[in-house]
Chains A and B, each alone.
Chain A
Amino acid sequence: MIYLDNSATTKPHEEVIKTFLAVNDQYYANPSSIHEMGVESNELLSRAREQLGQLLNTKSEKEILFTSGGTESNNFAIFGIARANIHKGKHIITTEIEHPSILEAMKILEKEGFEVDYLSVNSDGIISLEQLESLVRKDTSLVSIMHVNNEMGAIQPIEQAGRIIHTNSRAAFHVDAVQSFGKLPIVFNEEAGPDLISISGHKIHAFKGAGILALRKPMKINPYLVGGGQEFGLRSGTVAVPQAVALAKAARLAVQSQNNQAKKYLQWQRELKEVLKAYTEEVLFLSTEKGAPHIFSFSVKGLKGEVLINALQKRGVIVSTSSACSSKQTKTSHVVEALQIDEAFKKGVIRISFGIHLTDADIEGAKHALQEVMKELKGELVR
């Protein structure tokens, strides 16, 4: 099998699995216990925090909060900031193409009396900074913009957005970096950029069930889970030390190799695009040259995405429709709707996404399969 669905989830890195097993074996004590073994677990946990803090440039290690994954980190950020900063206002800005874990949280806040504005995107999937500037107000308490879109790879101008937000309001700026961390540089800095960042472990070759919410500096945020007061009182529940350490390792490996991997991924994207160029009428590219290197998304006219997925699968190539979360639903994804593409292309969106285990030979295989499938389907396409 050639696995080209790394934006849905990745295969864990061997080194990361080794870490996970070893930590489970040696440091299984509860990091909150005061006996020697607990203290050791806690020390290791702090080191994992410290390492992630350094990768993201937080003020101290205390700004790294371990969660159960991207959805929790996003929910945590949105509810935690909005509800703790009502004194600043009840106005929130986000985009039309966020992950459901942001959009669904917004719906709940709207019911609670928050006012939410949604930034639209152009056909490349990019927000307009002018629109952002016109929407930011004195009582805006939170802005949430995803760094890289999970369905088609558009990269948002986070730095410029950060500057606009910070000069015109007191709002906290949350960035969903689930699809970008470890692929593109994303760090905290003083004047521009995010105040909160969500990261998910299983997108960077760590495990499902682990993520972080990182804060640039200590800030007003409501706890997400209450109980024993773990994670500085913000997220109770015994901390999963092996998960945390594995995530720290995966994050280091990902960031270290991100430049080299990006070069490879871009090359592969170009090669796949080349194969599809023979079908200019029938194929629409949703990913652009300026998009994320690891996500390549396109649509075939008049076809259901499912058909293409099955045809490729028969040849051992695993791809997905626009996103794994929404692919089982029959309605068109909200991202595809937001892009305002031609009706004939809405149902046939396919996403190919790369990861570290892929080789040039795999891509050759995928190209070959894609070529065959397109030839086979051509009859259907012209029909």
Chain B
Amino acid sequence: MIWKEILIRYGELSTKGRNKKDFINRLRDNIRHSFADLAPLKIRAERDRMFISAENEEKMAQLIERLPKVFGIQSFSPVAACGKDMDEIKALSLQVMDLFKDEEITFKVEVKRNDKEFPLESHAIQREIGAEVLRNYQNLTAKMKKPDVELRIEVRPDAVYIMAQVIQGAGGMPIGSNGKSLLMLSGGIDSPVAGYLMMKRGVRLEAIHFFSPPYTSENSLQKVMDLANELTKFGANIRLHVIPFTEVQVKIKEQVPENISMTTTRRMMMKIADLVRVDIDALAIITGESLGQVASQTLESLTAINDVTNTPILRPLIANDKLEIIDIAQKIGTYETSIQPYEDCCTIFTPSSPKTKPKLEKVEHYESYVDFDSLVERAVKNREVHIFPKKKEQIDKFADFL
């Protein structure tokens, strides 16, 4: 196509007066990071908007396709450019408006003439271009107040810039502008969605997963890695901490009565997560818990589990229905991975009738017979860390067959 640059309108950062500069810098860095494969990019950041351009058409097309996933962008518009000549402006205006040729819409022409040397005045340009466009596109109607599309023409000293399309961005805040948190990633539907929602609020993620071989298979771990990888598509690296959890789980099964073993398991997970959080300098822990969804997610259970730490536990899904969560999961592309049928460590030792209202004192009483602290510390120490997205493409073992 004809695009010369892309104009980006900031998300809600426009409202954050004092930290604005930081946020804009963060967004610029994130864009550079997300589109490292399209480098070199020219990025020019202004107070209220940002301009990006890549070196060729193909890369521009890639940018337009992928920008809607970057947080911190409210909307953006591809901008075309031509020489300061009325015939050229007319031709390019038609090309830009061609994008809307299949829709019955209203439009108007908006002209900014920064270059006062240009012979025609704004109104004259507006009239001529408006007439030209209307003549060529029967589906358009002129409308001055709230048209569907504004064809914007800016006559600047160096060239004339034209745009019409406004593409919706992902909104939210640039990742990293709200610090770092640790996501408890189980492999189910909820936790990736929780991670996504916090990323949208500008939180940088690391993830933790509890792995209990041989009760859970390599496949279930692969599934979690795939999910972590999916989440990196929203513009940041993610480190995944895999905790060897078998020893702890077996001990719980031996020592704690079955109906509260689930509560204890969760408490141990939380303890481990909190230790990892300290280690990686994160500020909070994120979970995909949704109130009342399962026995471990009643207020009583949450109280008993939460008791092991003072760290803020962020539960962005706490008030969401399962269907709402599934909806988001499908939208962000994690659903299909989440529903693969592999056991995770939470489902494998599930007692037949877990207490929905566990008593904290009782739980603490049973736990006191075991030295869980050393088990927990060992689990943290022996964790494996994986970084996503994977740096090098794995060797393609199927290439020969295909």
Contact = CB atoms under 8 A, between A and B. Distances in A.
**A and B held together in a complex:** yes
A43 B398 contact: yes
Contacts of A44: 398, 401
Interface residues of A, number: 15
B401 A22 contact: yes
Contacts of B402: 19, 47-48, 51, 245, 248-249, 252
A34 B341 contact: yes
Contact of A36 (B218, B341, B398, B401): B218
Interface in A30-67: 34, 36, 39, 43-44, 47-48, 51
A245 B217 contact: no
B219 A39 contact: yes
B100 interface: no
Contacts of B400: 19, 22
Interface string A287-305: 0000000000000000000
B342 interface: yes
B285 to A, nearest CB: 31
Interface in B172-228: 217-219
Given A34-B219, A36-B218, A245 B342 contact: no
A48 to B, nearest CB: 7
A51 B401 CA distance: 11
Contact of B217 (A36, A43, A48, A252): A36
A23 interface: yes
A252 B400 CA distance: 12
A245 B400 CA distance: 11
Nearest to B219: A39
A327 to B, nearest CB: 35
Interface in B324-364: 341-342
A134 to B, nearest CB: 24
Interface string B369-402: 0000000000000000000000000000010111
Contacts of B217: 36
B401 A23 contact: yes
Nearest to B217: A36
Contact of A19 (B218, B341, B342, B401): B401
- Chain B interface secondary structure, helix, strand, loop or mixed? loop
A383 to B, nearest CB: 57
Nearest to B218: A36
Interface in B143-186: none
A51 B399 CA distance: 11
Nearest to A50: B402
Contacts of A23: 401
Contacts of A252: 402
The winner among A19, A23, A39, A48 for most chain B CB atoms within 10 A is A39
Contacts of A48: 402
Contacts of A248: 402
B342 to A, nearest CB: 7
Interface in A1-47: 19, 22-23, 34, 36, 39, 43-44, 47
Which of B217, B341, B398, B402 has most chain A Cβ within 10 Å? Answer: B402
Nearest to A27: B401
B398 A47 contact: yes
Contacts of B342: 34
Nearest to A242: B401
A82 to B, nearest CB: 29
Given A34-B341, A34-B342, A245 B219 contact: no
Interface string A311-347: 0000000000000000000000000000000000000
Most buried by A among B219, B341, B342, B398: B398
Interface in A252-267: 252
Contacts of B398: 43-44, 47
A23 B401 CA distance: 8
Nearest to B399: A47
10 contacts: A19-B401, A22-B401, A23-B401, A34-B341, A39-B219, A43-B398, A47-B398, A245-B401, A245-B402, A249-B402
Interface of B: 217-219, 341-342, 398, 400-402
Interface of A: 19, 22-23, 34, 36, 39, 43-44, 47-48, 51, 245, 248-249, 252
Given A22-B401, A47-B398, A51-B402, 8 more contacts: A19-B401, A34-B341, A36-B217, A36-B218, A44-B401, A245-B402, A249-B402, A252-B402
Which 3 interchain pairs have the tightest Cβ spacing? Answer: A19-B401, A47-B398, A245-B401
